[in-house]
Amino acid sequence: MATISTTPGSMSSTSVQELAQKWLQQDRDPETRKEIQDLLSVGDDVALESRLRRRIAFGTAGLRSSMQAGYAHMNSLTVLQASQGLATYILGQQSSHSVPPQAVVMGYDARYNSEKFARLAAAAFIAKGLDVLWFGELVHTPMVPFAVEHFSAAAGVMITASHNPARDNGYKVYWANGCQIIPPRDKDIATAIDLETDILSWDHNAIETSSAVRNILAEARGAYKRAIQILARPAKHGNMLPFTYTPMHGVGLPFMQEAVEILGFTDHGMYVVAAQANPDADFPTVPFPNPEEKGALNLAMEEATASGSQLIIANDPDADRFAAAEYLDDGRWHQFTGNEMGALLAAYVLETSSVERDQMAMLASTVSSRMLQAIAEKEGFRFQSTLTGFKYLGNVAQQMRERGLKPVYAYEEAIGYMFPSVVWDKDGIAAATVFLLARRKWHAEGLTPWRKLQSLFEHYGYFADANTYLISPSPEVTSATFAAIRNSSHGTPPTHIGKRKVRRWRDLTTGYDSGSADGTPDLPVDTAAQMITCWLDDAVFTARGSGTEPKIKLYVEAIGAASSAAAKTIANDVLKDLVSEWFPGLRLAGI
């Protein structure tokens, strides 16, 4: 979501003590003022440099960082600066025919300081002359883009760091179309933020005292529930089966309870992991509150085994992501990967949608499985690949709609799934709803989700991934590493990975694609981001630098193998060769 950039003006030539004094002049939050004052008093210039010399930059989905004092982090001052800059940009986009004031949807989750940051952001919007559409209690992230579209708002802001560690928070921005912002809008907003020097309001109570605030909770929740009801409209296929649910110490439980009510569950149909049921900003039972992380579902598995339920449903803390695990006949739990779940949900949508195949569209990001494309080629609907992130999936889906197509589904391997009839972003509650419907349908056909997945592999081909990441010390190391890769074969890109020949090389950083007639890539180029994709005879992989974390992410997929075991072996072999040949000096970490 965010990178770090230098602050505007003369910051680079200012002494660190002057930077600290400037911070103390601007900051009215007693906690963060004390942090800087304490560092000044002990003369910790290294820490002051780290916190004050460079600032957290506004990226393609807003801001995200650890919560502490300084321009480089999430705190009251940086939230206010971002909000004033965003407000200035919104007002600058008004046409002469606009009827002011415009409104911004404002939401927050259960993390430390989330409500405080949301209140300050609202105060900044009000001070700039915008109305604020306020929920007034915890909501899951998809509720913000949903409300933006429902209320025809100018923008929406959600205070959340999704599944990041407890010390982090973030500022996620949606535009008037209900999608995350994409370039160049993000850069234009960042420019507006850089020009904000004087804070107009520190009023935490403006929400209660200003006439520019409207509480939208009841209407938004009701409209969202109706959207889920429409999504769940397909005919019932037998009784609902019990399952175990965990919101991972987040905000998902009330929304999931509404979903299961819509689906017709009885009171004992959903077993909730009690220790993880209520919001807790410390996330005490999991090292990382991300269902993808190894061990994150251990407690849920224990409780599911005790209750006798054979399915686990999980959301991350802001409930925009969704994961599931099934207890198999051989006595082990299988947690579905994002790509496996992506295929399962696509299959159900295909089986139940009333949209004609020649109008239907589904999307996946370029780092996700090629299986959805294989299904599209066989079944006759339109498939579209996009750059990484739902900021692209949502906006490209809307562009397809403008061309007369009907987008019905999109997904990304990082357990994110979008159903455009509900919201133009990933939604863990909508995804769980569809999956439970699918499970009920397949059960009536004598299949479990696992067995359904095997039938899809048999019909469309075997696909298996081997995804992981490496720890990169700095953006400079990441850039140097990719530069060395591009010149590793006598000044040209490598021609082989292990014994496998590279059949196609696509570099979205330099803008070259060997698979096109003129060398132009089939996806947009971003010179500020590192991303290389290679096609081999039996696999495809992507290596990219993370925009939010100190990582280089690797996505490897075997395609067209004779069996699941063979596909997994191929994927693992390619990953092993890739790590040893391209990244020998970096530390490998498993997802």
| One domain for residues 535 and 577 | yes
Largest CA distance in the chain: 71
| One domain for residues 443 and 393 | yes
Residue 29 in this model has a pLDDT that exceeds 70:
yes
Q: Please report whether residue 117 resides in a domain.
A: yes
Q: Please report whether residue 227 resides in a domain.
A: no
| pLDDT band for position 60 (cuts 50, 70, 90) | low
Q: Please report whether residue 404 resides in a domain.
A: yes
Structurally, the chain folds into a number of domains equal to: 3
Compute the average pLDDT of residues 172-177: 97
Q: Give which of 509, 501, 504 is closest to 574, Cα–Cα.
A: 501
CA 534 to chain centre: 24
pLDDT digits (tens, 9 = 90+) for 86-116: 999 999 987 655 555 799 999 999 999 999 9
For residue 564, what is the domain's CATH number? 3.30.310.50
| One domain for residues 248 and 208 | no
Residue whose pair of structure tokens reads 């404002």 in the numeric block: 106
Q: Please report whether residue 68 resides in a domain.
A: yes
Of 427, 444, 460, which closes a domain?
A: 460
pLDDT digits (tens, 9 = 90+) for 105-154: 999 999 999 999 999 999 999 999 999 999 999 999 999 999 999 999 99
For residue 331, what is the domain's CATH number? 3.40.120.10
| Residues in Cβ contact with 27 at an 8 Å cutoff, skipping those fewer than 6 apart | 33, 36, 69, 75, 76, 77
Known catalytic membership, residue 514: no
Q: Please report whether residue 354 resides in a domain.
A: yes
572: domain range?
Answer: 464-589
| One domain for residues 360 and 269 | yes
Residue 572 in this model has a pLDDT that exceeds 70:
yes
**Does the CA dihedral 152-137-428-351 come out positive or negative?**
negative
Q: Which of 83, 114, 162, 472 is catalytic?
A: 162
Residue with the larger pLDDT of the pair 474 and 391? 391
| One domain for residues 527 and 544 | yes
| One domain for residues 456 and 482 | no
| One domain for residues 470 and 454 | no
pTM, whole model, 2 decimals? 0.94
| One domain for residues 495 and 525 | yes
| One domain for residues 341 and 423 | yes
Of 441, 460, 479, which closes a domain?
A: 460
| pLDDT band for position 5 (cuts 50, 70, 90) | very low
Q: Please report whether residue 221 resides in a domain.
A: no
Angle at 210 between CA 208 and CA 211, to 5 degrees: 115
| One domain for residues 184 and 275 | no
Q: Please report whether residue 231 resides in a domain.
A: no
Q: Please report whether residue 538 resides in a domain.
A: yes
Residue 140 to residue 328: CA distance in whole angstroms: 31
Residue 239 in this model has a pLDDT that exceeds 90:
no
Of 438, 460, 482, which closes a domain?
A: 460
| Residues in Cβ contact with 389 at an 8 Å cutoff, skipping those fewer than 6 apart | 60, 61, 180, 365, 412
